[in-house]
């Protein structure tokens, strides 16, 4: 044992030295090794290829051989294609279209059931009320309870979380099957209750879940023939791309709006967008929307593929040029309304959080809050009660259809004898005209929606806001129609005003204001199937965005703030003081690192204390020269390899051999065999490139976003040695025939006691780490200590970095992670009271900051004027910097 | 002289030492300095502020003071707002809408004139032919000649160039007023000739030119109150954003398609897109499209704002589900057609280039080629001649309008007694039915457009391709209508097929295939004002893209290749071998650098030989520790400062003083004054941050993209000292009262002879460089030598880098610029015959590379089979790597 051990250690030392020589040599060495291994691998592959084809030839030497070879290659081709993007995207689109359609079907059933119950009990108002109220309360409570029990992550919209995930941040349990089930069932129940809740946000999440699960599923088939070297690199980046496409699919199949879906998902989730991935979203969203609508045709709901909320406005003269001010007014008002909605929503959450007593009570009885809110809302919409003044009996979809109606409800200023057909009748009340109904509808739905979206069930805010916007637009349109009963156009021909067009504009503007997006305009076109109002809609949406962005963050950013998700806020040009912050001011100086000559014990300790995804590898504690970074999983694999069962068996075999040698020196062949095996072993330990990814894979077999999860294998150090299976798995990856090398050895059996194992492990831990099998990233991202905060922010958000090392002339002096960066940005911005910065905020900045400065200066001047004293010289910095 | 000189050098040396101490200290020092200077500046500002307000108070001490202060602040506010984005964008939109409208008006006039001439001469066919042919030949020749004389850069589309410029590459003279004039006038003439040329591409260029000029113009007003520290950083990034918005405006106001414009410009010009800038494009493009259409209303062309090529397809049943295969066929055929178009276009250019004799002749007579091409095309379209079979008398616009017509031309399989009204009559020929006319139109226009776009006039290919696509779609639609005269629907109701819908699909698909974009679909919706065919269009466009991208690069990438523009090609996942290329393999090891202790002579030599925009600053030649990078302009400023007239005058004054001191030791006050001045001088030389940007500005006063141009001030070293004005300008920037410091000194006059000046300069050149006034970027972009090509490519394209330094443990060992990177990528890709990689190319890669590998392997197998010899082992690398 002693001799061999020393030999091995000497070898290891030599290798360490080899690595330690210098980084240039390291690179050369790595390249040579890689070339050697490539050749070897190629040779090996050639051999198997040859033997396979020889087999084939032997099996059938007739003319059929040609066909056979073709078949084999076709098969191989097909299997390898399974991993291709477009098959994945088609499947994703198909599945999501089915999910969307089935869910819509179930929701429609639920709503019909409620109507049927309500309608059947029309003899007794109390019973009717009970039915009207109980039904949604039960459904919402079930949804909340189910979500809470199965996967609490499924509650809420999901867009803020997806925004964070697409930024590259780890969010645990957000993309699992459990969450998928909880989200789908919870959402169906929540929407089936008839509450003012939306489907869009959750659908983005569901599509992402679907993509994640599908990707997992497909990796079972495909990827077998893929180059293992590339899987890691490919997967990381590809999964982000796939998730981005999935977000587009989510919106696309929810509204049958492929283009709007792609744009909306980009606007809502991305900061920087690679145009290269654009087609993925379009492809999948189009396919999904297509299937979604085809299902409706097959189900005989529709005659052919058309828009979801088809409008029939006249094409030849959609609107007059002089109506544009009214559209602009809708836009501006929607901007204020959208900001108010976001503010109200946040206020409700914060109010409930602050009231400790309420909060405590609600925490205990989790279902009480949803039930209470539902009770309140459904009581107010009870059609024979207050609901009659706000079209309470209409579902969200019905309201929207009636609001987008191309007929005018009010003529001559008063709600008159217009024939209200079908659902539109709900807007007519004998005592109140249609304006009052609309105003009540808008006001009530506004706070109801803001309140309802705080319920912890899967739900979005897009659709309720959309409906409110449509109602507001309709109100303005009806007013215009009442004001100009003959239309505005002066050239003889009468073109009456179409209030439905105003409703479309209002819907786009308000939803755009709440979500801070422009692409709601496109969604509206696709939803209504008409694009004739494009310019009014664009103008209103842009105005609404300008106003809303200067007042409040978007609903999603607001939720990110409420939930305190780890999202990197935007950094604008407005904040000049940022240029003076440098990386050295924010970096963490106490970096945990590993050295080239560390022992396994050091590794173990570092892994226990440090929780970062990757660890820095430095030359030595003295020089601190950064050599590269190693993934945590790699180190864990190293450690488990060192302490695993195969190595222990090897050790036992060695010992047994030594004992045998000791007892009889005659049996040379056996010893030779053992030596051969040892050298074989060493050879495989040296091999780097080809097998370098295998340890990661064996430890983290999940192909989707392995970085999303932190593996807790080595967390409890003492459990490692019992990790037998993974050890064998490792062995099987390193050697071509694992049984022949380790298990088939009949004269060794694992008869060590626990104490012996512990002792042996202690010995093993004191050995120096052999980094040869380890994949070292030789070029981790580096900053220097004087890199500005602005540059750091740009680099982090462009490259989606998680952390970056700070070096000074090659020496590692610190590390900056997303957390520090976020703190630095938020810290400095909070001073001004602005936290998350929207894209249009140049309006806000210029407004607030300069007016601040103006005010201060005016005050100063006035103080001087009245006091007639000279101002002090020693406080010039603050206000003057602002006025720069 | 001697004593003072030594003092100064000692001071300099001390400062150099201070810098040399270490980078950490350098940072601390810089920060302290910055803080000190900030305070100083703030103090100074406070003083002026105070004096100004005191002036005000003295001027009018009545109650009106308050108002007056308000007015001043309002004025200041307004002026500072001039530099704001949204004012800029509104102006840009307004100007572009006007340009677009006026141009359209002129083009329409030109075309009308041709028609009038042609119509007036209907008595004589020869005269008619001459008129028909001469008119376009003259116009095109004039356009080509004008463009060539005024600005040759204006020829062609402009989108490839904009793509390159937005990537951050310097293209000289592409954004000047001359180019603007040439492009606008050239384009008007070219389109007025009636050739199959487009307006879209040039409009992108024109909008960018407009933005660049407007930005220059506005910087005269705004920016006065801006913080000079930020101008450089802001401008660089802001101009790129503004140019991106301008591209959107270009498309938007050309087609009155704001959304499609934004998307198309993103797809065509960007690789990575910051969602933050999204709204700019939308805002400006919407405003521009709005004004463009409002002008049409005011001009009484239209009754209200509608789409440009409004269609009137039925809304309730736009198409049957069973028609989808036909739409898919259009998509796939358009894909092949698009690829063929790009190939044909490139082939023509390459053919003309290769034929040396032709080429030489054409180079001499530059106007001959355009004239010949025009002659050929217009001869073929001559209506009484061959033109009668291809609707030759219709202009592009008229053809499009007729093609998008919602009536069916052919019923019952034969062109029958359908009433052809207006322009549609052109498609009817007594001898040939409408199918033959359409086929001839498509075939002839196809090669004509490919040929016409090679003429060196400002022209695009989008619109011709769009028309051909529409004709192809119409052909398929008419065939379908002939095949199913009663429509396909089986449920009793007859919905006849609408060939116009097919035309829309065809137009979107073919233009999408040629440009490799999906957003042509959106452009089509906005152009026609109908969105009912959204799903067929999306399906066709995606299929067309998939086919075209797997066969050929886009027309713009093709032009980039033809023109050999410095654009970084895309790098795909398909090319595995890229992972083995590292930065060390491609970097330039012979870096030109400057050391901290270099002399002005070294600086001078480096500036003469090195042409990079920035230069590396290293500690010393031995250590090669990279300290930062300095802009070329900064160094030029340093040099001209050292050799400038003010310093020489200072030297003369010193000498005169010394002489005086030598002659009489009594006159102490004068000497004291001199000393005071000297120390004053030194103090201003130390000051860094506040004035750090000034040297650059004085050398490069152009605010738009100063990096776009290389300044050739110091190129001819001997001319530097005569550069008096800039010297004085520099002085005036460094000192508050330049006259007081240097020029007002009456007892010094510049009486040095040229020889003396040369001697003095030689002395000056030997001095050590004082880097204190110089803005050093302390954190230039660094890579390590083992960074992979893939990572380098990503970083370069994400951050828009021009070059990056390669360091090894802090030591500068090489530099990688865009050129090396491009070479490395193209070099390795050219082997495979694929040069520019489109986004959908995964289809192509998987197709070609794997089939390559399959073929090779099959061949090998067959060779083995037939030869019955064992394959060689020493050539396994190439094909096997591919098959991985």
* Cβ–Cβ gap B539/A278 under 8 Å: no
Pair B574, B841: CB distance under 8 Å:
yes
The rounded percent of chain A whose pLDDT value lies above 90 is: 16
Per-residue confidence band for B789, with pLDDT thresholds at 50, 70 and 90: confident
More reliable by pLDDT, B312 or A809: B312
Which residues does residue A784 pair with via DSSP β-bridges, in sequence order? A807
What value does the mean pLDDT take over residues A822-850? 44
With CB atoms and an 8 Å threshold, state whether B273 touches A272. yes
Query: Which stretches within A718-838 are classed as H helix?
Result: 724-734, 738, 754-765, 789-799, 818-830
Contact at CB, A531 and B529, closer than 8 angstroms: yes
Please answer whether residues A93 and A280 qualify as being in contact, where contact means their C-beta atoms are separated by less than 8 angstroms: no
Q: What is the pLDDT of residue A489?
A: 67
- Alpha-carbon distance of A362 to A356, in angstroms, equals 10
Query: For residues A71 and A77, which has the higher predicted lDDT (pLDDT)?
Result: A71
Rounded to a whole number of angstroms, the distance from the CA of A532 to the nearest CA of chain B is 6
**The pLDDT value given to residue A571:** 62
CB A518 to CB B233 under 8 A?
no
Place of tokens 């799903």: B535
Mean pLDDT over A759-779 rounds to 76
Q: Out of A69, A85, A576, whose CB is closest to B858?
A: A69
- Dihedrals φ, ψ of A395, to 5°? -75, 170
Q: Phi first, then psi: what are they for B491, rounded to 5°?
A: -85, 35
pLDDT tens figures, A455-477: 889 988 899 999 999 999 999 99
- Rounded to a whole number, what is the distance in Å from the CA of B635 to chain A's nearest CA? 21
- Please name the member of B312, B534, B795 whose beta carbon is closest to the beta carbon of A315: B312
B238 contacts in A (CB within 8 Å)?
A: 573
List CB contacts (< 8 A) between A278 and chain B. Answer: 267, 518, 839
What residue has token string 């919409």?
A: A381
Beta-carbon separation of A809 and B809 below 8 A: yes
| Percentage of chain B lying above the pLDDT 70 cut | 68
Asked if B402 and B423 count as a contact pair (C-beta separation under 8 A), the reply is: yes
Confidence check: pLDDT of A884 > 60: no
Mean pLDDT of B741-762: 64
Average pLDDT on A775-799 reads 75
Question: Is-contact A844 A617, C-beta < 8 A?
Answer: no
In the predicted structure, residue B284 carries a pLDDT above the cut 60: yes
Helix (H, G, I), strand (E, B) or coil at B593: strand
Per-residue pLDDT at B571: 61
**Which range is least confidently modeled, A765-779, B341-355, B675-689?**
B675-689
pLDDT for position B739: 38
Q: pLDDT band for A9, please (50, 70, 90 cuts).
A: very low
CB < 8 Å to A77, chain B: 850, 854
pLDDT band at residue B93, thresholds of 50, 70 and 90?
Answer: very high
* Chain A, nearest residue to B546 by Cα: A279
Q: In this model, does residue A866 exceed pLDDT 60?
A: no
Asked whether the beta carbons of residue A229 and residue B304 sit closer than 8 angstroms, the reply is no
Decide if A267 and B278 are in contact by the 8 Å CB cutoff: yes
Bridge partners for A274 per DSSP = B272
Give the pLDDT of residue B771: 77
Residue among B579, B779, B808 minimizing CB distance to A786: B779
Q: In Å, how far from its chain's centre is CA A859?
A: 48
Q: How far is CA A390 from CA A192, A384, A443, A467, in A?
A: 20, 11, 10, 13
**Rounded percentage of chain A residues whose pLDDT exceeds 70:** 68
pLDDT category of residue B423 using cuts at 50, 70 and 90: low
Testing the interface with A: which of B861, B862, B875 to mutate, by most A Cβ within 10 A?
B861
Q: Lowest-confidence range among A625-639, B136-150, B364-378?
A: A625-639
What residue has token string 């104490």?
A: A755
C-beta atoms of A811 and B810 within 8 A: yes
By CA distance, what is B618's nearest residue in A? A809
Which of B72, B518, B567, B788 to substitute to test the interface with A, most A CBs within 10 Å?
A: B518
- Phi/psi for A699 (5° steps) reads -80, -40
**Would you say residue A514 has pLDDT above 90?**
yes
Confidence of residue A97 (pLDDT cuts 50, 70, 90): very high
| Residue numbers in B near A799 (CB within 8 A) | 794-795, 798
Residue A45: pLDDT band by 50, 70, 90 thresholds? Answer: low
The pLDDT assigned to A219 comes to: 74
* Least confident residue range of A182-191, B300-309, B343-352: B300-309
Please tell me which residue of chain B has the smallest CA distance to A274: B272
Q: How distant is the Cα of A232 from the closest Cα of chain B, in angstroms?
A: 12
Percent above pLDDT 90 for chain B: 16
Handedness of CA B863, B864, B867, B872 (dihedral sign): positive
8 Å CB contact of B39 and A876: yes
CA distance B43 to chain A (A): 7
Q: How many CA atoms lie within 13 A of B616 on its CB side?
A: 25
CB B790 to CB A233 under 8 A?
yes
Over range B272-292, report the average pLDDT: 84
Q: Residue B879's closest chain A neighbor by CA?
A: A42
Closest chain A residue to B45 measured between Cα atoms? A880
Report the C-alpha gap between A388 and A427 in whole angstroms.
8
B534 contact residues in A (CB cutoff 8 A): 258-259, 526, 529
Q: Which residue of B has its CA nearest to A873?
A: B43
Q: Return the top range by mean pLDDT from A165-179, A622-636, B89-103, B757-771.
A: B89-103
Among candidates B85, B584, B785 on the partner chain, residue whose Cβ is nearest the Cβ of A842? B85
All residues of chain A having their beta carbon less than 8 Å from the beta carbon of residue B858 are: 69-70, 73
- Residue B750: predicted pLDDT: 62
pTM over cut 0.80: no
pLDDT confidence of residue B63: 55
Distance from CA of B741 to the nearest CA of A (A): 27
* Model pLDDT, residue A186: 92
Phi, psi values for residue B593, rounded to 5°? -140, 170
Name the DSSP class of B588. B
The shortest C-alpha distance from B786 to chain A (Å) reads 6
Give the pLDDT of residue A416: 46
Average pLDDT over residues A416-443: 74
**Range scoring the smallest mean pLDDT among A127-141, A254-268, A553-567, A646-660:** A646-660
Is the per-residue pLDDT at A374 higher than 50? yes
- Read off the pLDDT band of A693 (50, 70, 90): very low
Tell me which chain A residues have a C-beta less than 8 angstroms from the C-beta of B809. Answer: 23, 625, 809-810
Judged by phi (left if over 0) then psi (alpha if -120 to 50, else beta), residue A176 lies in: beta
- Of the ranges A338-347, A639-648, A705-714, the best mean pLDDT one: A338-347
Out of A167-171, B360-364, B732-736, which region has the weakest mean confidence (pLDDT)? B732-736
**Taking all residues of chain A, what is their mean pLDDT, rounded to a whole number?**
72
**Average pLDDT of the segment spanning B658-685:** 49
Mutation site for B-interface testing, chosen from A35, A279, A310, A546 by largest number of B Cβ within 10 Å: A279
Q: Which chain A residues contact residue B38 at CB under 8 A?
A: 877, 881
Contact A321 B294 (CB under 8 A): yes
Which chain A residue shows the shortest CA-CA distance from B854?
Answer: A73
Q: Which has more confidence, A131 or B234?
A: A131
Q: What pLDDT does B673 receive?
A: 45
Of A226, A312, A810, the CB nearest to B315: A312
Q: What is the mean pLDDT of residues A175-184?
A: 90
What does the alpha-carbon distance between residue B446 and residue B439 come to, in Å, rounded to a whole number? 11
Answer yes or no: is pLDDT of B139 > 70. yes
Burial of residue B220 (CB within 10 Å: 0-12, 13-18, 19+) is exposed
B85 neighbourhood in chain A, CB within 8 Å? 842
Residue B241 pLDDT: 79
Q: Rounded mean pLDDT of chain B?
A: 72
- What is the predicted pLDDT for the residue at B473? 94
> pLDDT: is B861 or B524 the higher one?
B524
Looking at A220-234, A641-655, B100-114, which range is the least confident one? A220-234
Asked if residue B718 has pLDDT above 70, the reply is: no
What are the pLDDT digits (tens) for A274-327?
A: 777 778 888 899 999 889 888 888 887 777 777 888 888 877 777 888 888 999
Closest CB to B279: pick one of A77, A85, A545: A545
Choose from B535, B576, B849 for mutation: most chain A CBs within 10 A: B535
Of B272 and A33, the one with more pLDDT: B272
pLDDT of amino acid B240: 78
Higher pLDDT, B789 or B663: B789
Least confident of A389-393, B242-246, B878-882: B878-882
**C-alpha angle B347/B353/B356, rounded to 5°?**
135
ipTM for the predicted complex: 0.71
Mean pLDDT score, B733-752: 46
Q: How confident is the model at residue A235 (pLDDT cuts 50, 70, 90)?
A: low
> CA of A62: which chain B residue's CA is closest?
B865
Q: What is the pLDDT of residue A507?
A: 94
| Cross-chain CB nearest to A320 (options B278, B304, B857) | B304
Judged by CB atoms closer than 8 Å, whether chains meet at A526 and B521 is answered as no
pLDDT of A400-429, one tens digit each?
888 888 777 766 444 444 555 566 677 777
Write the residue in A227, A811, A850 that is nearest to B576 by C-beta.
Answer: A227
How close is the nearest chain B Cα to the Cα of A523, in Å?
12
Q: In whole angstroms, how far apart are CA A447 and each of A160, A441, A461, A463?
A: 22, 10, 12, 14
Residue-level pLDDT at B205: 92
Sequence-distant (≥ 6) Cβ neighbours of residue B269 within 8 angstroms: B159, B162, B163, B166, B204, B244, B247
Which residue in B50, B57, B321 is closest to A865 by CB distance?
A: B57
Contact between A84 and B625 using a beta-carbon 8 Å cutoff = no
Residue B306 with chain A: CB contacts under 8 Å: 316-318, 532
């Amino acid at each position: 044992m002693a001799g061999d051990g020393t030999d091995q250690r000497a070898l290891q030392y030599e290798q360490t030295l080899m690595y330690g020589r210098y980084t240039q040599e390291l690179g050369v060495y790595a390249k040579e090794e890689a070339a050697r291994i490539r050749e070897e691998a190629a040779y090996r592959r050639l051999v198997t290829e040859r033997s396979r084809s020889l087999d084939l030839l032997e099996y059938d030497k007739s003319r059929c051989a040609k066909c056979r070879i073709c078949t084999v290659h076709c098969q191989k081709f097909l299997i390898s294609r399974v991993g291709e993007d477009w098959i994945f995207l088609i499947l994703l689109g198909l599945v999501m279209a089915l999910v969307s359609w089935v869910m819509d079907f179930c929701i429609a059933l639920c709503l019909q059931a409620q109507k049927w119950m309500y309608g059947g009990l029309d003899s007794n108002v109390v019973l009717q009320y009970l039915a009207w109220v109980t039904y949604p309360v039960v459904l919402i409570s079930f949804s909340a309870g189910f979500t809470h029990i199965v996967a609490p992550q499924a509650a809420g919209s999901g867009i803020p979380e997806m925004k964070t995930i697409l930024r590259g941040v780890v969010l645990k349990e957000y993309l699992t099957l459990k969450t998928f089930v909880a989200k789908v069932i919870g959402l169906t129940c929540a929407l089936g209750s008839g509450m003012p809740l939306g489907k869009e946000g959750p659908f983005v999440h569901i599509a992402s879940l679907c993509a994640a699960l599908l990707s997992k599923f497909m990796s079972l088939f495909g990827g077998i023939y893929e180059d293992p070297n590339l899987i890691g690199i490919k997967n990381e980046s590809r999964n982000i791309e796939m998730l981005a496409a999935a977000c587009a699919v989510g919106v696309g199949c929810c509204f049958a709006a492929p283009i709007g879906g792609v744009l909306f998902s980009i606007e809502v989730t991305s900061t920087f967008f690679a145009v290269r991935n654009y087609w993925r979203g379009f492809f999948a969203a189009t396919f999904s929307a297509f299937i979604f609508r085809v299902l409706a045709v097959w189900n005989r709901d529709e005659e052919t593929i058309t828009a979801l909320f088809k409008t029939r406005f006249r094409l030849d003269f959609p609107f007059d040029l002089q109506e544009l001010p009214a559209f602009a007014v809708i836009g501006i008002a929607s901007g204020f309304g959208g900001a108010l909605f976001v503010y109200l929503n946040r206020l409700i959450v914060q109010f409930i959080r602050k009231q400790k007593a309420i909060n405590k009570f609600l925490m205990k009885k989790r279902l009480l809050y949803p039930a209470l809110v539902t009770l309140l809302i459904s009581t107010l919409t009870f059609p024979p009660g207050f609901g009659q003044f706000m079209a309470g009996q209409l579902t969200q979809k019905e309201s929207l259809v009636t609001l987008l109606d191309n007929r005018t409800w009010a003529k001559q200023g008063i709600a008159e004898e217009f024939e209200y057909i079908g659902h539109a009748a709900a807007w007519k009340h004998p005592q109140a005209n249609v304006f009052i109904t609309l105003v009540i509808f808008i006001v009530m739905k506004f706070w109801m929606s803001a309140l309802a979206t705080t319920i912890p069930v899967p739900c979005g805010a897009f659709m309720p806001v959309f409906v409110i916007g449509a109602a507001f637009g309709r109100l303005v349109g009806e007013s215009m129609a009442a004001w100009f009963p003959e239309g505005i156009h002066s050239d003889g021909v009468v073109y009456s005003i179409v209030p439905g067009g105003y409703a479309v504009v209002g819907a786009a503007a308000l939803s755009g204001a709440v979500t801070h997006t422009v692409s709601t305009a496109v969604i509206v076109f696709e939803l209504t199937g008409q694009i004739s109002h494009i310019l009014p809609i664009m103008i209103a949406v842009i105005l609404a965005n300008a106003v809303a962005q200067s007042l409040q963050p978007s609903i999603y950013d607001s939720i990110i703030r409420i939930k305190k998700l780890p999202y990197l806020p935007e950094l604008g040009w407005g904040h000049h003081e940022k240029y003076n912050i440098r990386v050295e001011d924010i970096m963490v100086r106490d970096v945990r690192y590993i050295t080239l000559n560390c022992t396994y014990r050091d590794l173990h300790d570092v892994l226990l204390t440090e929780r970062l995804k990757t660890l820095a590898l430095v030359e030595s504690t003295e020089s601190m020269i950064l050599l590269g970074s190693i993934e945590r999983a790699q180190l864990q694999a190293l450690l488990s390899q060192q302490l695993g069962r195969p190595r222990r068996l090897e050790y036992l075999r060695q010992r047994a051999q030594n004992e045998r040698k000791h007892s009889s020196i005659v049996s040379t062949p056996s010893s030779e065999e053992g030596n051969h095996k040892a050298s074989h072993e060493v050879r495989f330990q040296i091999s780097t490139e080809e097998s370098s990814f295998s340890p990661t894979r064996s430890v983290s077999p999940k192909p989707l976003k392995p970085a999303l999860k932190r593996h807790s294998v080595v967390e409890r150090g003492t459990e490692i040695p019992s990790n037998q299976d993974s050890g064998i798995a490792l062995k099987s990856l390193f050697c071509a025939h694992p049984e022949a090398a380790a298990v088939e050895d009949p004269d060794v059996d694992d008869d060590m006691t626990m104490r012996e194992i512990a002792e042996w492990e202690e010995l093993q831990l004191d050995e120096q780490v052999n980094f040869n099998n380890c994949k070292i990233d030789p070029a981790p991202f580096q900053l220097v200590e004087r890199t500005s905060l602005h540059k750091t922010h740009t680099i982090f958000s462009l490259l989606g970095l998680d952390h970056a090392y700070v070096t000074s002339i090659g020496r590692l002096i610190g590390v900056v992670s997303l957390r520090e960066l976020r703190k630095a940005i938020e810290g400095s911005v909070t001073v001004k009271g602005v936290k998350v910065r929207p894209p249009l905020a140049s309006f806000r900045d210029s407004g607030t900051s300069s007016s601040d400065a103006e005010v201060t200066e005016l005050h100063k001047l006035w103080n001087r004027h009245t006091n007639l004293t000279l101002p002090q010289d020693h406080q010039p910095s603050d206000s003057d910097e602002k006025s720069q």
